[in-house]
Structure formats: structure tokens, C-alpha cells
Structure 1
Amino acid sequence: MRRLLSTLAVTSCLLAGIPAISWAQSLPGLTIFSGVKGENQLPFRLDFGGQTNGWDRYRLKVSSKKMKTAVARFVISYPNYYQGTFDRKEIEVKAKGKKIALSEVKWDKENHVLEIFPQEPVPAGTDVELILSNVKNPSSGGMFYFNCSIQSPGDVPLSRYIGTWIISIS
């Protein structure tokens, strides 16, 4: 009877731990003392677990509630201590599940900024997913704040802060 109870206890602990592992790098969970207000935290997913020095795919999401204007340019800034690399040719934008054609993707390594230019402005009120494939994660882990700003189309483009993805590499 004792063996049965101990086996049952170990098995339940293992099964309870599996969902926590699979949720580790998807959408922000509870973040304490981040300095970013809850309404400014953006959802994301790292397809391959966010391991240091590994290859990954970042799925950075922006909800339609945040997209109050049409978007001619997405600007992603990241901290200077993030030493990962991006493949500009493997960046795509999806709106309403459909791939959006891009005119250009710029990566300014010195200023720690990625700029993504859709061929046509993304309409206001649209759910958007920015997909960064072939990302080489930094060799040292940590928490990295990726800030998202958008720029509206027009003669006088207006820049607007959308939110922050708090990405943990371990």
C-alpha cells in the first residue's frame, strides 16, 4: 500500500509539472516587478523554447484593441544587452491569419531596432502577428524587453507606443 501511494504521489507531481513546462514560453503569465503595466504587456510565443544559444521563432502578437490606427511601419526596439541575431529575410507579418506582403525589413544593429514595412498599410482594428524566424538566441540568458511602436501612414506619420513583449531566454 505504501508503494502504491508513493508511486501515485510521484506520478501526480510529474503530470502536474508537464503543463507548466509547455506554457513556459507562451504569452505573458504573471510578471511581478517588471516595470511594465499589465495593459502594456503584449502576448508572444517562442516556438522552440527560448534556450540560450539556440535557434528560435518569435511570434510577437498585437491585439486589434491596440491597433487604433492603420500601420505603415512596425518598430521593434530591444535592449543593448540582447546579443541575439535576426534573419531579415525570415520575418513576416500576418493579419487575420493571412500573410502580409512586406516592402522592406531593416535591422539597425547599432541602435537595437528592427523596422518592418508592409507594402500596404495594415488596417486599424486588426489582430497582427509579427513572426521572426531563424532567430539566434543570445548565449547568455535573461529577461529582454522588446518594445513595439507603430507609425501611421500619411504625409505626417505619427508614431505610437503599442506595448512591450517581456521575453525570457534561459
Structure 2
Amino acid sequence: MLLYVNLVISIKLPWWRRLTMRRLLSGLAVTSCVIAGLPTITSAQSLPGFTLFSGVKSENQLPFRLDFGGQSNSWDRYILRIPAQKMKLAAAQFAITYPDHYKGSFDTKDIEIRVGDKKVPVSEVKWDREGRLLEIFPEEPVPAGSRVELVLSNVRNPAFGGTFYFNCQILSPGDVPLLRYLGTWILSIN
């Protein structure tokens, strides 16, 4: 077929048109190969990436992942990460505060803590809707210097998208009962 097209092009068109036609067909062939060879793009947010003018210093921005794409008015799973270098003290409680314009909902029965690759049993989860506070209590304090993931499953994203600052604080065991700020997750819901 291609030989027939080349033969027809070379017989009926002048040389300068043949050159243009060959370039066009070659470009079309290369473009279709590139498009077919591209990997499928996932819609999940994996990390916050590069943020300009957020109001949160870069050293205070925490990594996260939204497993189901962060689409408004849909179900999602938030994996909120705390790097090991941020965990300077052991944690007997994790407190997550969020802004008043975040109108999503959390399933307090489906929240887990992962330290490294292991799940840590959760003794209690409290959600204060009016105070916009989610408190997570592990059965045993999470040791200092651990890489931690707070996994919030069955989260209902707000009906209207936006950028939401989720602040992470911890309470250390045997310490003065004051929450200590660790950082902020900057979540974007589309």
C-alpha cells in the first residue's frame, strides 16, 4: 500500500510537491508512533511538587498522595506522609487541622497509621467537625525518627474544589500536653 502511495505521489506531482508530501507523511507517521508509545498518565496526585507562593515555607511542606485523583464530590484515599527527619520526638497523638472551607468528610473507622512498612494499631480516632480537628491515637507511641504515613480511607472530597492546608501536629508521650507543629500538607481538589 505504501509503495502504491509513493508511486502515485511520484508520478502525478511535481518534485517540490512530492518533497512536501513525503515530509508531511513522515511527520504524521512519527507523531502517531510517539503518541501511541506514551505511557498512560494517572490522575492521582503523588507529591505536592513545586509550589510557588503558598505561604508555607518549603521545609514545612509535607508529602502526600491522593489515590483516586482528588476529584471534587467523590471518594478518595489520602496518604499523608511525615518524613523521618520531621519525627524528632515520639508521637502519642497525631492531630490534623484543616480549614473551615473544607467541606469533605472522613470515615473515622477506616484510618490507619503506617510506620515504615508496618501498620500500627489505632486505639481511637476523634473527629471534631466544629473545631475542624481530626485526632488519631496509636495504641503505642510512634518512635522518633520513623517514617510515618497516615492513611485516611473513604474520604468524601468536598463538592467544590480548591486548595486546602492540612496542618500536622503531634503530642509526645510524657511531655507537656501541647501539640507540636510538624508541617503542612497542601492538598488540591479539582
Aligned residues: 168
CA separation of 1:38 and 1:24: change in aligned 2, threshold 3 A:
farther
Are 1:159 and 2:167 matched, yes or no?
A: no
In structure 2, the residue corresponding to 1:89 is in which secondary structure? coil
In structure 2, the residue corresponding to 1:22 is in which secondary structure? coil
- Aligned twin of 1:35: 55
- Aligned twin of 2:11: none
Q: Which moved more, 1:4-13 or 1:116-125?
A: 4-13
In structure 2, the residue corresponding to 1:28 is in which secondary structure? coil
Give a deviation string over 1:28-57, Cα, whole Å, max 9, x none: 101111111111110000010001111000
- Conserved 8 A contact 2:61-2:186: yes
Are 1:4 and 2:26 matched, yes or no?
A: yes
In structure 2, the residue corresponding to 1:161 is in which secondary structure? strand
- Provide the C-alpha distance between the structure 1 equivalents of 2:32 and 2:72, rounded to a whole number of angstroms: 30
- Aligned twin of 2:18: none
Identity percentage of aligned residues: 60
> Which structure is larger by alpha-carbon Rg, 1 or 2?
2
Are 1:95 and 2:115 matched, yes or no?
A: yes
Partner of residue 56 from structure 1, selected from 49, 66, 76: 76
How far off its partner does 1:161 sit? 0.5
CA separation of 1:139 and 1:156: change in aligned 2, threshold 3 A:
same
How far off its partner does 1:4 sit? 3.1
Partner of residue 149 from structure 1, selected from 163, 169, 172: 169
- Provide the C-alpha distance between the structure 2 equivalents of 1:58 and 1:166, rounded to a whole number of angstroms: 12
User: In proportion to residue count, which structure has more helix?
Assistant: 2
CA RMSD of superposed structures (Å): 1.8
User: In proportion to residue count, which structure has more strand?
Assistant: 1
TM-score by length of 2: 0.82
What is the letter of the counterpart of residue 70 of structure 1? A
CA separation of 1:139 and 1:120: change in aligned 2, threshold 3 A:
same
In structure 2, the residue corresponding to 1:165 is in which secondary structure? strand
Which structure exhibits the higher relative contact order, with contacts defined as CA atoms closer than 8 Å and separated by 6 or more residues? 1
**What 5-or-longer segments of structure 1 have no aligned partner?**
none
CA separation of 1:36 and 1:7: change in aligned 2, threshold 3 A:
farther
CA separation of 1:155 and 1:65: change in aligned 2, threshold 3 A:
closer
- Aligned twin of 2:86: 66
CA separation of 1:15 and 1:36: change in aligned 2, threshold 3 A:
farther
What is the letter of the counterpart of residue 82 of structure 2? V
Give a deviation string over 1:74-108, Cα, whole Å, max 9, x none: 00000000010000000000001111111110000
- Provide the C-alpha distance between the structure 2 equivalents of 1:11 and 1:36, rounded to a whole number of angstroms: 43
Are 1:79 and 2:131 matched, yes or no?
A: no
Are 1:114 and 2:134 matched, yes or no?
A: yes
- Provide the C-alpha distance between the structure 2 equivalents of 1:131 and 1:155, rounded to a whole number of angstroms: 25
